[in-house]
């Protein structure tokens, strides 16, 4: 499950930020995860809770905001919403759609003490 390695990477970012800011504790983490990022949110929550045990972020609240998937249709030359990487263009039905957004995962904000 790659969510465990994602959770470990998030913890590393939290520890680095806390060290930089001389923080004693991370109390909340706000993540933005794209709808097309191939991340199972509930698995990530479970893994995050396991990874932060006995760390500076133990007990931290994990807030997840989902970013919509978007793409560019090469046939109708328009930006379109996407719910799946292999979706057809909802306007013209073409499958020549390039993903332009919704694949990212990033820490947007931290609450530290």
Paired residues of 110 in beta bridges:
29
Domain ranges of the chain: 2-112
Q: 39-91: per-residue pLDDT in tens?
A: 999 999 999 999 999 999 999 999 999 999 999 999 999 999 999 999 899 99
For the entire predicted model, the pTM comes to: 0.85
The answer to whether the beta carbons of residues 34 and 104 sit under 8 Å apart is: yes
The whole-number average pLDDT for the span 12-25 is 95
Q: Which fold has domain 2-112?
A: hypothetical protein PF0899 fold (3.30.2320)
Tell me, what's the pLDDT at 52? 97
For residue 79, what are its two tokens? 């930006």
What share of the chain in percent tops pLDDT 90? 97
Q: Is 29 helix (H, G, I), strand (E, B) or coil?
A: strand
Report pLDDT digits (tens) over 57-68.
999 999 999 999
Is the pLDDT assigned to residue 1 strictly greater than 80?
A: no
Please tell me the number of Cα atoms within 13 Å of 93 on its side-chain side: 0
Q: Are residues 25 and 110 in contact, defined by beta-carbon separation less than 8 angstroms? A: no
């Amino acid at each position: 499950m790659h969510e465990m390695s994602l959770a470990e990477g998030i913890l590393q970012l939290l520890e680095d930020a806390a060290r930089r800011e001389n923080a004693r504790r991370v109390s909340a983490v706000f993540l933005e995860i794209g709808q097309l990022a191939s991340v199972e949110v509930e698995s990530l929550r479970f893994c995050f809770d396991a990874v932060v045990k006995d760390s500076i972020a133990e007990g931290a609240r994990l807030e997840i905001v989902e970013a919509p998937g978007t793409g560019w249709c090469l046939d109708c030359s328009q930006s379109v919403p996407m719910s799946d990487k292999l979706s057809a263009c909802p306007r013209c039905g073409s499958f020549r759609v390039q993903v332009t957004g919704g694949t990212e995962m990033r820490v947007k904000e931290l609450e530290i003490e």
